[in-house]
Structure 1
């Protein structure tokens, strides 16, 4: 365990996790022994998607009769929330860090139109990493989403990643990159697509003869993105892209939004 003004590092056995709270509370590094699992760089690692996931269509969403506009940071849409562009504050003790746990928070602010707090937690063991996100309101109820966007290296030690999962459906993607609302049978990749897993997200990434990593979550939604040569992304999230509009999940004073995912790994 170590920490600086910018980075917090957790070490348990051969597993080493580095969190950069100043730059979106993203995981900047996850090493298993000498092997780095995440693509490096300011835009990569693994960042939280909150208070929405993926694209919010044309930067607009409603809360009841009120229409809100979000900045179009991926024109013509608003993408991936505000958490990845925010500096987060520590919410853990030195004892937590020594036991492989860390927590951070930030207060929702413009351009998000509602007041509230987001907390992200990390718990590392020798062979698992459990991440948590919670969204609370300071008053008014509002729709929100939470999830993670990891960029796993496509190639480890010369071995290309193989993806394995069994989805009940795929969200049909329209020409505007938003789900059309129609569910179709899962199609072959490459993907930038959302899949439904009613029994919970369960996706396996295997680098043959090197490492097997499984991403699980109690949530039923996952986006798989593997259109880049350098990385594959398995993104568990609390709702589908554009879900603020199509499947709103209200955060209320007595019902915060809580989301978890666990990554587990085995050397091969």
Structure 2
């Protein structure tokens, strides 16, 4: 099948999935109001096969040291799949499945699958990585850009969450390994939520949206004027080195995030 945009609808919700632009969710409208920042680099893109930055673009893969392109010098950031064209495996009115085969510079042949399911009050996305051969370390995450303001003179979004800790951020923007008591924003920081990611975005008087995942790590980035990012992921930045999760021939790596909303 092609990699043209897919529009999912359920109730008064409409989501646009763009396989051809990195497998991202390029739009999410509730009652006609766009929740995601618009633009080719925005929406919500998949972070795979790693999340956030890898220090100096290098990670240990068994006994081998692998080098990824430094697309955010001096680091490599957000994986390779957001730069590729995904393919549509199937699509219905309210569900879609898209796939992407990992290729160079990633050293291992593997398939990434994203499945999207839209309801009138929520969107669930599941992503998996399956190897065609050897085992390797990987990460899965999502990088949504939620509009800070929904227009019509309303208030800016509020971000509420109760993390167990905040990863100390070094001068190189990577976690040092120390865990701190969570501090006030603005943030470009990774937090630990051992009971699962649970973050509430509230546009006062308009909409409440919860970002949830069984994963235990979330990066919150709210240093840009236009948008706020809440990024569930299977490990912290530089996690290929510090918290590797293995994809094996008998066990893929899989993660799910759900966004659920209600009118206020």
TM-score bracket for the superposition, by shorter chain length: over 0.9
Divergent runs of 4+, >6 A: none
Unaligned ranges ≥5, structure 1:
none
Work out the CA distance in 1 between the residues paired with 2:119 and 2:36: 17
- SS of corresponding position for 1:159: coil
2:260 corresponding residue in structure 1: 264
Deviation track 1:20-50 (CA, whole Å, cap 9, x = no partner) reads 1001011111000121000000110000000
Q: Note the 1:64-213 alignment, pairs <5 A.
A: 64-93=62-91, 97-98=92-93, 100-157=94-151, 158-213=154-209
Deviation track 1:225-252 (CA, whole Å, cap 9, x = no partner) reads 0000100000000000000000111100
Unaligned ranges ≥5, structure 2:
none
TM-score of the two chains, using structure 2 as the length reference: 0.98
1:232 corresponding residue in structure 2: 228
Structure 2 vs 1, CA of residues 230 and 76 (structure 1 numbering), >3 Å: closer, same or farther? Answer: same
1:54 corresponding residue in structure 2: 52
Work out the CA distance in 1 between the residues paired with 2:46 and 2:62: 26
2:241 corresponding residue in structure 1: 245
What displacement does 1:63 show? 1.1
**RMSD between aligned residues:** 1.1
What displacement does 1:5 show? 5.2
What displacement does 1:4 show? 7.7
> Is the 2:3–2:85 Cα contact (8 Å) retained in structure 1?
no
Work out the CA distance in 1 between the residues paired with 2:115 and 2:55: 29
Work out the CA distance in 2 between the residues paired with 1:64 and 1:13: 48
